[in-house]
Structure 1
C-alpha cells in the first residue's frame, strides 16, 4: 500500500514474519506508513493488533479508529529518525517531575501527595540509583545531575516503538518516574493514572466536578491506557 486510501480496497488482512520483525499485508500488499516506510513492527502481538484495526475498517479508512497503527507510524516516521532528540525531551521531565512539586497546605493534600508519591521516588532511587528530591511550591529547582543521568539512560535504552508509547506515558502524566514505573511493571496503567491526578482530584472534591474538564481527563486516560498497552506489545 503506497499511502493511506480513503476507500477500502482489500478483502483479507494478514500478518507475516519479515526481516526485522512482523508486517501487515492487505491482500498480500504490505502496509506502508504515511512517509512510505514499510510498516514493520518488533512483535507478532503488535502486528496482530494493527491487522485487526485494518480488518475492522468499513468502506472507508478512518485513521481515528486505528490507534495502534497511528502509534506504529509515529515510531517509524518520527521517533526512529530522531531517537536521541525524543529521548532527551522525555528524560528532561525528570528535572521537573510532577511527583517532586508538592503543596505546602492544606495538610490533607500534603499528606495525600506524600503517601502516593514518596514510595515512587523511593522506588526510582532503589532501582535506578536516582534520588529525586521533593520541593514545596512550583518554582523550579534543579535536581541532582547524577540522578537525572541515571534516568536518562533508561529512556535512551528504549527501542523506537517503546519510546513512541513512552512519550505518552510521560507527557500525559507529567512524570518521568510514573512513566518508568508503568514501563517496568511497578505500577499498572490503571493504578498509575490516579497518582498523576491527585491535585485535580483534590480540586474536584473542594469545588465540584466540571463536565468539560472531566471529559478531557477521560480522553487523556484512554490515551494513557492505550500507550501502556502499546508499550507492552512492543516488547
Structure 2
C-alpha cells in the first residue's frame, strides 16, 4: 500500500512545479506545534561532519575550518541552499541492530540533536535516502524532503512536545472544517451548503459510529461546541498514538484545518484524493463558477497534495504497510 501511495504521489508531483510554491506565492505556514517548536528553536540548521557522522545542528559561531552546510530549518522554503556535499547515498542497519540509518558517503546522517537518524523500517530509510539522492549538484532543496522533516519531527519534537501537540489539536477541534456549514438562506451560499451536507455527511456519521457521540454542526465563523464526551474520546485516541502516528496526524490537521480528516486518513476511512476534495470543497466550487487562476489555484492544489500525502506515506512506510 505504501509503495503504491509513493508511486501515485510522485507521478502527480512535478519537481519543477514544486519550486513555484515559493516563487509565485507566500509559503503555507504550518500550524502544527511540532513544526512551530522547530522554527522557534532555530531558523536554520547545519550539516556538519565529525569523523564518520553527518549531523544537523543549530547555527553556531563560524569556525575557521568548517565543513558545514547551512540550510533553512523550514523544509517548505523553495530555496536552494548550499551545495551537495556528498556523492553516494545508501542505507544500513543501525549499529545496535534496532532500526535503520541513512549514509551520506561514509557518514551517518544525524538529527538536529546529534542523535543518529534511526528509522523504524528499511522502507522508510530507503525513501529518505531517495530524497537525498534526488538533490542536485548545484544545491540542496529542503522542500523536496518532506519525509526527512517528518522523521525528525517524530524522533525528536513529538516525544518532547507531545502534551502541547495534543492540547493544540483539541483546542482547535471545535473549529474543525467538517463541522462548519455555509448558510443556506441565499443563492450564493446554498450550493456550498448542499455540497457540504452531501460530502461531509458520511464522515460525520463515521465519527458518530466510531466514538459514540453525534457531532454538532454550526454556521458561525468562530466555531461551535462539541459534546465533552466526543472531545474526551478524541483526546484519548491521540494519547494512545505512537510518535510517528501523532506526527502524521498533527501535520495533516495543520494543512487540512481538520483533526477529523487527519484521523480519518490515518485510520483508513479516507483516501488522499477524497481528503483533498473535502478540504478544497468550497474553493473548488468557486473555481467552477469563476474559473481557475493559473499560478494560484493550481499551485495551491499541488502544495496541498504534498502536505496531505507526505504524512500518509510516512506513516505507511514507518509501519511497513
Do both share a fold (TM > 0.5)? yes
Alignment check: 8 A CA contact 1:79 1:160 kept:
yes
Greater displacement, 104-113 / 20-29: 20-29
Mapped partners of 2:284, 2:130: distance in 1: 36
Structure 2 unmatched ranges of 5 or more: 1-53, 57-67, 70-81
Among candidates 99, 102, 109, match of residue 24 of structure 1: 102
- Per-residue CA distance 1:128-185 (angstroms, 9 max, x = gap): 2243111123232211111011011222222222222222211111111111111001
Counterpart in the other structure of 2:310:
226
More helix by share: 1
The equivalences for 1:1-235 within 5 A come to 1-3=54-56, 5=69, 6=82, 7-17=84-94, 18=96, 20-59=98-137, 60-105=139-184, 106-211=189-294, 212-235=296-319
Alignment check: 8 A CA contact 2:89 2:105 kept:
yes
Mapped partners of 2:271, 2:310: distance in 1: 12
- Root mean square deviation, CA, Å: 2.1
CA drift at 1:113: 0.6
Alignment check: 8 A CA contact 1:90 1:155 kept:
no
> How many positions carry a matched residue from both structures?
235
Which secondary structure does the structure 2 equivalent of 1:55 belong to? helix
- In structure 2, the CA distance between the partners of 1:158 and 1:109, relative to structure 1 (3 Å rule), is same
Mapped partners of 1:38, 1:129: distance in 2: 42
- In structure 2, the CA distance between the partners of 1:2 and 1:226, relative to structure 1 (3 Å rule), is closer
- In structure 2, the CA distance between the partners of 1:16 and 1:61, relative to structure 1 (3 Å rule), is farther
Structure 1 unmatched ranges of 5 or more: none
CA drift at 1:71: 1.6
Alignment check: 8 A CA contact 2:101 2:117 kept:
yes
Which secondary structure does the structure 1 equivalent of 2:257 belong to? coil
- Per-residue CA distance 1:178-228 (angstroms, 9 max, x = gap): 111110011111111101111111222233223324322321222211122
Which secondary structure does the structure 1 equivalent of 2:91 belong to? strand
TM-score by length of 1: 0.89
